[in-house]
Amino acid sequence: MPPPRKVIIDTDPGQDDAVAILMALASPDALEVIGITAVAGNVPLALTQKNARIVCELAGRPDVKVFAGCDAPLSRKLMTAEHVHGRTGLDGPALPDPVMPLQDGHAVDFLIDTLRREPAGSVTLCALGPLTNLATAFRAAPDIVGRLREIVLMGGACFEVGNVTPAAEFNIHVDPEAAEIVFKSGVDLVVMPLDVTHKALVTRPRNAAFRALSSTVGRAVADMTGFLDRFDPEKYGSEGAPLHDPCVTAWLLAPDLFTGRRINVEIETKGAFTTGMTVADWWGVSGRRANALFLGDVDAGGLFALLTERLARL
């Protein structure tokens, strides 16, 4: 069996971020989480770094190093999503405040130092929120770009268009300048857009399967995904809320659950109506070089079976 893949999770928890983190921490045979870097996004940084530590303790992993990163986009005012995630970002379950400490130092410095220290090609970045921390690190230390194995990120859309504007998905829209830096960096990118995540729906039977685990983690995840259910089904007319970020973890564990194609993706930063749009050349009409594996479909049943099995380990 190969050694676990080394991953850093860059995140703005967020209930779905929390589930993605739990899934990763439940899979030490496959994933070695060498650090978690928090960024402002779904809620401000003071809450995202706190929520990341809450989730680590929920998983029984207070040893995981959590760093606070950028508290605002590169050049824009922060836009948050309390209307989706609640005041704390983890509304739903009643979880205690964390005891484990926040690490000294900035998340960007941790990213730079770690990528310089670890063997080239050995670390994967899992980006679950706005890409501010990653872009800041790339600008400060261009030498780390070529040392990454790949970036697997949740963001963007093609046929599903936008969820925060008619054209843009939230993570990319919050900091499109950062996304542009990452997408133009040359790093091997795997992108989980809304086209995939809107098929990963927490239906009532899937929520019940979490609760049926009869564990603290199972109940917490059921409460988190149940909280999200108040918003998205009404918005989209769907049978449950999309579980966006766990698709990133699922890709690392079982890529055969997903299908997509390598295409060119550009980030719109100046559009009057389309700022933050991922201009995904699905049909290959632009002639631009492919820079991302852009996923288009997922075996949702297989994804939720995998997720439930992993959560049962915690």
Active site residues: 244
Cα–Cα distance for residue pair 9/124, rounded to 1 Å: 9
Of residues 296, 277, 251, 233, the one with CA closest to residue 153: 251
Bridge partners of residue 260, in order along the sequence: 295
Quick count: other Cβ atoms within 10 Å of Cβ 83? 7
Quick count: other Cβ atoms within 10 Å of Cβ 231? 15
Of residues 138, 119, 160, the one with CA closest to residue 10: 138
Cα–Cα distance for residue pair 217/63, rounded to 1 Å: 18
258-263 vs 241-242, strand pairing mode: unpaired
Name 258's Cβ contacts closer than 8 Å, sequence gap at least 6.
196, 247, 250, 251, 295, 297, 298, 299
Name 314's Cβ contacts closer than 8 Å, sequence gap at least 6.
22, 25, 26, 58, 59, 60, 215, 217
Cα–Cα distance for residue pair 182/114, rounded to 1 Å: 18
Write down how long the chain is: 314
Cα–Cα distance for residue pair 220/196, rounded to 1 Å: 24
